[in-house]
Amino acid sequence: MAKLLWALVCDDYKIESGKVSIFGEFSNFAASQFPAVQSSFIVFTRWAIQPGEQFQCDVRLVESSSNDFGVTTGKPTRDSPVIDTISTASKANAFAETCTIAARFRNAYFPHPGQYSVEILVDGSLVHMIALPAIPEG
């Protein structure tokens, strides 16, 4: 099974000559008023894989239904509403040992300030979460 090596949230990226450049890594979303829309952001992941391996990667933006995400358990509840999901089917070539996936979210809607998270799933199983709180500016 694919193993997540690292994941981050950023504004954009570029791959050139086999090198990855990450632009604007961030850990929260700030807005002057809510509801708010983030026009674009990327969840960038790197995976360890077996040559020729296939897997399904889903990246979800989730609103925490409790208001204590990251304070107690660090996990949203089972009934947390999913705001958006980006799905990618990936197949490694015969020689690859790593795979890079960039899930671009467009016009992500944040109805109010509070706790949100990015969930990363492989073949339907949750493998990682990133806290992404939405906070008022100022």
Would the pLDDT of 72 be above 70? no
CATH number at residue 120: 2.60.40.1930
More confident residue, 83 or 114: 114
More confident residue, 134 or 53: 134
Check residue 31 and give its pLDDT: 96
Contact 46, 92 (CB under 8 A): no
Look at residue 60 and tell me if it is in a domain: yes
Look at residue 20 and tell me if it is in a domain: no
Report, as an integer, the average pLDDT of 12-36. 94
Check residue 79 and give its pLDDT: 59
Look at residue 19 and tell me if it is in a domain: no
Look at residue 116 and tell me if it is in a domain: yes
Check residue 70 and give its pLDDT: 41
* Number of CB atoms found within 10 A of residue 114's CB: 16
User: What integer best gives the mean pLDDT of the chain?
Assistant: 86
Look at residue 105 and tell me if it is in a domain: yes
Look at residue 18 and tell me if it is in a domain: no
Look at residue 94 and tell me if it is in a domain: yes
Check residue 97 and give its pLDDT: 87
Pairing assessment for the beta strands 134-136 and 29-31 based on DSSP bridges: parallel
Would the pLDDT of 65 be above 60? no
Check residue 67 and give its pLDDT: 44
Contact 54, 89 (CB under 8 A): yes
Check residue 74 and give its pLDDT: 43
Q: How many domains does the chain have?
A: 1
- Residue 28: which pLDDT band, with cuts at 50, 70 and 90? very high
Range of the domain at 36: 3-13+25-136
Check residue 93 and give its pLDDT: 73
* Alpha carbon distances (Å) from 62 to 8, 84, 106, 111: 16, 7, 15, 12
Would the pLDDT of 32 be above 70? yes
